[in-house]
Structure 1
Amino acid sequence: MRLVFAGTPAAAVPTLRRLATSHDIAAVVTRPDAALGRRRVLTPSPVAQAALELGLPVIKAARLDDAATAEIAALEVELGVIVAYGGLVREPLLSMPTSGWINLHFSLLPAWRGAAPVQRALIAGDDVLGASVFQLVAELDAGDVYATREIGVAETATAGEALETLAHDGADLTAQVVDAIADGTADARPQVGEPTFAAKLSHADGLLDWNAPLDTVFARFRGATPEPGAHTTVGGQALKVLEAVPAADAEPLAPGRFRGTKKALLIGTGSGALAVTRVQPAGKGAMNAVDWWRGQRGGDELQAGS
């Protein structure tokens, strides 16, 4: 099929590469270059960089406005494919391709419609993650579903790690749907069940509540890592928690209290301890958690959340 592909982050790249092997991608739509790093260097999106490597034309648009719509209309594509582009597809662009648009979404719809499905699913403690390919409609993530796939991830996987797995499995799922649309065998069915919604995470969503049970604290850590980042305060100063796992058979420790071991810094929760191995203090780089703790005056008296 002749396609237009829209996507921006690294999670969209596997689908772009997969579709480029068997379909005619007329153009790739992605968000404009972003200022990254301390020097705020303008950097193309991961999708833009992949498109360049593949020799594909790129349309950079902050939103799919009249100008972007005109560019896409001139391509006369049969199908639009979107994966985490970061903007809405509205009419008349929505109906412009002869087969409309399909969307790879990283949840088992109708669960977790919205911007942060993987993060919200992990924070909620969901045991199963997955991906869905559906027909894009005006209502948020509400279109008929062509295919879903449950995808297993490690029990300790963060949102970033889980998304990497989902992106590769989702690429194959999307390619199967595009092939089926091309040969006329695709079958989309209405979503069944009560939808849940996955709003974009804010900085506040990464705050760890040490009085909560261990599984709740760890679930929030997983869902908020790497963005917006799991964090706490110590002595009024922010401390980002970068790497952590539940501590097996740890001695009781009051919520928020620290205890150092040779390999990890234990922090008490409402029902066990979290073993933290890497942290990032405010204004500094990432470092070994035990080394950070040993460098704090009165380390034995430190209290997370204070």
Structure 2
Amino acid sequence: MRIVFMGTPEFAVPSLEAVASAHDVTLVVTRPDAVRSRGRRPEPSPVKARALDLGLPMLEAKRMDASAIDAVRAAAPDLVCVVAFGCILPDELLAVAPLGAINVHGSLLPRWRGAAPIQRAILAGDERTGVSIMRVAHDLDAGAWCRQASTAIGSKTAGKLFDELARLGARELVAAAGQIADGTATWHEQDPAQVTIAEKVRKDEMRLDPADARAANALRVQASTDAAPARCQIAGRGVRVVLAAPASANAPQVAAGAISLSHGRVLLGCADGALELLRVKPDGKREMDASAWAQGLRGAEGAAWGRA
């Protein structure tokens, strides 16, 4: 089957590899090179880099204007596969391929339509999340789905879930493409009453707060990403919290807003108990175990912590 693949970030790379191994990818469309690391030169998207490795024809497009749509049409796809491309797709594009366009979405639709489904599932305390293979529709993430796969969230960080769901999405995308091609795909319309929206996570949402429950602060850390990191101030020092967990029952009692340093453990007092920091990245320093960082906090016992 002839396929045009559209995607940009690392999340889309496993899907590109899987589709390219199973079908004839006649064109890869991705977003243009951009500055992806602070203070560095423009870099290719992960999808562009992998497409070049695979020797696939490629188009960089900031938006899907008439010339970009013409390029997709010239590639004569039977099906268009979209994975986190990064811009709205016009209705004209959706009509180019006889079998339409499908998308890998990182949630169990209709829950968590929108930009940040993985982080929102974590922040909401959902027990499970997954991927959905859906028709690309005019409205955002509103298309019917034909395949889903789920996984337990547990204590997995956003980064681990991104990687796991990327692999699940690749598997389900190839399976869906095969079913669509042979006419065996079963489509399920989304129930509007069950829809929730996964808005982009704002940086201020991820600030740890001593007035909140320790579980809420732990979920912020679990959902943390480079774009929206979990942060706080400890003894007047800004720090990104990379890994944390509610303190064990035998941990020292810590008042809300206070700090406890005991045997290399860093405990932050929250509204209903303590949050234990496990890995941190102090401002201007490398990431490290919290126990190593604690050595530089001597004298801060009982000092205050709060929102960054």
Structure 1 and Structure 2 fold alike (TM over 0.5): yes
Of the structure 1 ranges 139-148 and 33-42, higher mean CA displacement relative to structure 2 is found in 33-42
Runs of 4+ aligned structure 1 residues displaced above 4 Å come to none
1:139 and 2:121 equivalent? no
Match of 2:120 in 1: 120
Q: Distance in 1 between matches of 2:258 and 2:119?
A: 27
Match of 2:60 in 1: 60
Residue 242 of structure 2 contacts residue 279 of structure 2 at CA under 8 Å; is this kept in 1?
yes
Q: Distance in 1 between matches of 2:234 and 2:252?
A: 22
Of the structure 1 ranges 29-38 and 19-28, higher mean CA displacement relative to structure 2 is found in 29-38
Match of 1:171 in 2: 170
Match of 2:280 in 1: 279
Residue 270 and residue 179 in structure 1: after superposition, are their counterparts in 2 closer, same or farther (change >3 A)? same
What amino acid is the match of 1:118? I
Deviations 1:117-139 (Å, cap 9, x if unpaired)? 00011001111111101111000
TM-score by length of 2: 0.93
How many Å apart are 1:294 and its aligned residue?
3.2
SS at match of 1:103: strand
Two-structure CA RMSD over aligned residues (Å): 1.7
How many Å apart are 1:233 and its aligned residue?
2.0
What amino acid is the match of 2:43? T
How many Å apart are 1:225 and its aligned residue?
3.4
How many Å apart are 1:144 and its aligned residue?
0.8
Of the structure 1 ranges 19-28 and 59-68, higher mean CA displacement relative to structure 2 is found in 59-68
1:236-251 paired onto structure 2 within 5 Å: 236-249=236-249, 250-251=251-252
Match of 2:268 in 1: 267
Residue 265 of structure 2 contacts residue 294 of structure 2 at CA under 8 Å; is this kept in 1?
no
Residue 263 of structure 1 contacts residue 277 of structure 1 at CA under 8 Å; is this kept in 2?
no
Residue 210 of structure 1 contacts residue 255 of structure 1 at CA under 8 Å; is this kept in 2?
yes
Deviations 1:69-127 (Å, cap 9, x if unpaired)? 12111111111111111111112112111111101101010100001000011001111
1:157 and 2:128 equivalent? no
Of the structure 1 ranges 11-20 and 223-232, higher mean CA displacement relative to structure 2 is found in 223-232
Residue 8 of structure 1 contacts residue 86 of structure 1 at CA under 8 Å; is this kept in 2?
yes
Match of 2:215 in 1: 215
Residue 213 of structure 1 contacts residue 271 of structure 1 at CA under 8 Å; is this kept in 2?
yes
The percentage of counterpart residues that share the same residue type is 38
SS at match of 2:254: coil
How many residues end up aligned between the 2 structures?
305
1:254 and 2:240 equivalent? no
Q: Distance in 2 between matches of 1:65 and 1:262?
A: 60
TM-score by length of 1: 0.94
Residue 83 of structure 2 contacts residue 104 of structure 2 at CA under 8 Å; is this kept in 1?
yes
Residue 9 of structure 2 contacts residue 46 of structure 2 at CA under 8 Å; is this kept in 1?
yes
Residue 42 and residue 255 in structure 1: after superposition, are their counterparts in 2 closer, same or farther (change >3 A)? same
